Amino acid sequence: MKKTGFITALGAMSGTSLDGVDAAVVVTDGITIKGFGDTAYRPYSDRESAVLKGALGQWPSDDLAEAAELIETVHAQVLSGFDDVDLVGFHGQTLAHDPDNRRTHQCGDGQVLADVLGQTVVWDFRSADVELGGQGAPLAPFYHFALAKYLHADAPVAFLNLGGVGNLTWIDPTKDKPESDGALLAFDTGPANAPLNDLMLARRDVSFDADGLLASEGDVDDAIIESFLDHAFFYRMPPKSLDRDDFADLTAAVAALSDADAAATLTAAAAMSVVKAMEHCPSPPTRLLVTGGGRKNPTLMAMLVAGLDMPVVPVEDAGLDGDMLEAQAFAYLAVRVVRGLPTSCRGTTGVRAAVSGGTISRPSA
């Protein structure tokens, strides 16, 4: 692999929504994005999702052998379908995240993938940041900075990822580097799709609220939203991060509501989390580019438009692929790791100094 210049990197992401594995190619030198390549998606079966959901909240142990093998096997299936790749970025599956106690757990062994694929694999992206006092999340902001440059933005812009958990990246594209003072502010906004997806599975035996239809038929319980927004998390200054199930009390709060009213209330919670988060931005962004599954929910997007005084659009409006942005991010970060460039900084995770996270595994002889 070349030590300088552009290379072809393949990234994979299995997010907190537990829906499947995304894989995407980015051509980059770890600083500038030259272009994008092929993509792939492999959904988890109901049984696979159940195994992963049963492993949530657990720290490394022999009890997780099934979940680890599943993650490694599915990723190997997806990633082996790509040709002419120089490097692989493997995020793994986050099962537990406790940065306050300097620990985080992304299940899956990158050395296993390196041996199976015969490729250099960068993995365990979060541990170094957490060990140095950072939140370990979100990690996509350095990629968002590169995307803002790629889009030739000349004023502050923000990316909002609505996966299982929501996260926001505010960017000043006039800065030279993502680790420069004032270039980035990034943090988790609150629960996004996870509580709603869990509700739909429990009550309707489907994995999500397609097109936000159920939520559109319900009424938001304002008292629940008011109580939700009083949570201490929303008053903490960023950077800050969440575990997928940190707002379990929100799920309990809607238990007595009808299906439609519960869906509407959980959708409103996701939207109002973002509205609240915008108060932390150094200045209003010129537009909010939305990625992740939540951008496909018209009810959620309408709530965001109603609550925010700025253009709110899916990233496709900027010519980007909202389904693959997270996978692309870990391809990009993998290149930064092998070239010794930072992957997080004080403005993105609160880590004391810019740090290059990630473990590099090469195929065994």
DSSP 74-101: HHHHHHTT--S-SEEEEEEEEEEEEGGG
* pLDDT of residue 3 exceeding 80: no
Paired with 20 in beta bridges are: 43
For residue 242, the model assigns a pLDDT of 83
Whether 278 and 185 have beta carbons less than 8 Å apart is answered as: no
Alpha-carbon gap, residue 25 to 326, rounded angstroms = 11
51-63 as b/e, with b when 16 or more CB fall inside 10 Å?
bbeebbeeeeeee
For residue 131, the model assigns a pLDDT of 95
What pLDDT digit, counting tens, does each position of 187-212 carry? 999 999 999 999 999 999 998 999 99
For residue 245, the model assigns a pLDDT of 77
Portion of the chain with pLDDT greater than 90, in percent: 90
What pLDDT digit, counting tens, does each position of 117-148 carry? 999 999 999 999 999 999 998 899 999 999 99
Mean pLDDT in residue range 230-235? 93
For residue 164, the model assigns a pLDDT of 86
Q: What is the mean pLDDT of the chain?
A: 95
* pLDDT of residue 4 exceeding 90: no
259-281 as b/e, with b when 16 or more CB fall inside 10 Å?
bbbbbbbbbbbbbbbbbbbbebe
7-133+332-342+357-361 and 152-318 agree in CATH topology:
yes
* pLDDT of residue 16 exceeding 80: no
Helix, strand, or coil (residue 333): helix
What CATH class does 7-133+332-342+357-361 carry? alpha beta
For residue 18, the model assigns a pLDDT of 84
Residue whose tokens read 């099962």: 95
Query: Could you state, in order of their start, the residue ranges of all structural domains in the chain?
Result: 7-133+332-342+357-361, 152-318
User: 152-318: which CATH architecture?
Assistant: 2-Layer Sandwich (3.30)
pLDDT band of 255, cuts 50, 70, 90: very high
What pLDDT digit, counting tens, does each position of 179-193 carry? 999 999 999 999 999
pLDDT band of 286, cuts 50, 70, 90: very high
Mean pLDDT in residue range 93-100? 91
Strands (E), 86-231: 87-98, 103-107, 121-123, 157-162, 165-171, 184-191
For residue 155, the model assigns a pLDDT of 98
pLDDT band of 248, cuts 50, 70, 90: confident
Q: Which H/E stretch holds residue 126?
A: none
The whole model's pTM is what? 0.93
From 144-158, 205-219, 239-253, the region with the lowest mean pLDDT: 239-253
Mean pLDDT in residue range 61-67? 91
Whether 16 and 44 have beta carbons less than 8 Å apart is answered as: no
From 96-100, 283-287, 317-321, 343-347, the region with the lowest mean pLDDT: 96-100
For residue 30, the model assigns a pLDDT of 98
- Find all residues with CB under 8 Å of 343, minimum gap 6, and list them: 125, 129, 139, 142, 333, 336, 337, 355, 356, 357, 358
* pLDDT of residue 171 exceeding 80: yes
For residue 347, the model assigns a pLDDT of 95
* pLDDT of residue 352 exceeding 80: yes
